[in-house]
């Protein structure tokens, strides 16, 4: 680890992170609570405490909390090597929850206008693929983090290849659903899928930054590299992705208006 302390530039970035991600957490927690209460797709009995739990620990909120925690470590001014390493690890694990959120939002697109568990317009095979998508993402990120922390190069390579392959598969799946289920999904559900598709190019940049941080020049290192690169290819991409995914879920599960009856509103 080349850093003995956090730089002034990184401290300024950390202040901006605390402000931006605190706002994102407030917005996502508030809207998610209202969506959970209104639609409640879980099998457990609906209650205020469960809605609060699901809204506070939503995956977008989890990323926001990780970013705030990492920024707090920077602002603490600690020179402890463990703190610096922990902050670098926190910066690297925000991608997997956002990819998980893609899976969840896509599942919600099939439940547009409906309440209760299941009740999706997608067949079981599609739902299985959307849920299965999360596991290779998780394993890929874990291999990368473990490989980086333990200096095991083979782990990093396997994790990187797995992440790229499963992301390519996810892009293909989202694109295929946008075309094949256009006539099956209601208008709002199809718009949700299109919004998720709009987030994929930003994921490409974010994944490219992660790979460059692992294998590229020093300037891409999130700990000691160029702060402008980290903001432009890392934080900004995450913020845009969060906004798009929050918008997609808001389209699939609007807070206002009545819940439609179980009548197909298919596009013709």
What are the tens digits of pLDDT across the range 81-92? 676 667 666 776
3-state secondary structure of 266: strand
Report which of residues 238 and 77 the model is more confident about. 238
Give residue 223's pLDDT band: very low, low, confident or very high (50, 70, 90): low
Question: What whole-number distance in Å separates Cα of residue 164 and Cα of residue 11?
Answer: 31
Task: Give the domain ranges of the chain.
Answer: 8-39+47-252
Question: d(Cα 151, Cα 30) in Å, to the nearest integer?
Answer: 41
> Is the pTM above the cut of 0.85?
yes
Distance CA 8, CA 120 (A): 50
> Per-residue confidence at 3, pLDDT binned at 50, 70, 90?
very low
Total residue length of the chain: 268
Distance CA 122, CA 147 (A): 37
Helix-then-strand count for the chain, H and E: 11, 0
Task: Give the fold, CATH level 3, of 8-39+47-252.
Answer: Rhopdopsin 7-helix transmembrane proteins (1.20.1070)
pLDDT, tens only, 51-68: 999 998 888 988 999 889
Mean pLDDT over residues 1-18, rounded? 73
* pLDDT at residue number 266: 38
């Amino acid at each position: 680890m080349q850093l003995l302390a956090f730089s002034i530039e990184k401290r300024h970035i950390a202040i901006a992170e605390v402000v931006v991600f605190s706002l994102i957490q407030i917005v996502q927690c508030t809207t998610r609570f209202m969506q959970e209460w209104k639609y409640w797709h879980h099998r457990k009995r609906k209650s205020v405490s469960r809605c609060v739990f699901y809204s506070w620990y939503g995956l977008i909120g989890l990323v926001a909390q990780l970013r705030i925690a990492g920024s707090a470590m920077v602002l603490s001014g600690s020179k402890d090597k463990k703190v610096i390493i922990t902050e670098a690890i926190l910066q690297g694990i925000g991608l997997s929850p956002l990819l998980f959120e893609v899976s969840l939002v896509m599942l919600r697109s099939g439940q547009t206008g409906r309440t209760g568990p299941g009740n999706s317009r997608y067949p079981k095979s599609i739902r299985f693929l959307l849920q299965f998508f999360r596991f290779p993402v998780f394993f890929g990120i874990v291999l990368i983090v473990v490989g980086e922390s333990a200096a095991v190069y083979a782990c990093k390579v396997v994790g990187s290849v797995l992440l790229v392959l499963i992301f390519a598969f996810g892009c293909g799946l989202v694109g295929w659903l946008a075309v094949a289920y256009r006539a099956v999904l209601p208008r709002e559900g199809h718009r949700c899928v299109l919004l998720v598709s709009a987030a994929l190019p930003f994921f490409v940049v974010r994944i490219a930054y992660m790979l460059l941080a692992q294998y590229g020049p020093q300037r891409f290192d999130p700990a000691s590299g160029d702060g402008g690169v980290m903001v432009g290819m890392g934080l900004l991409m995450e913020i845009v992705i969060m906004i798009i995914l929050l918008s997609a879920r808001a389209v699939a599960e609007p807070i206002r208006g009545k819940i439609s009856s179980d009548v197909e509103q298919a596009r013709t």
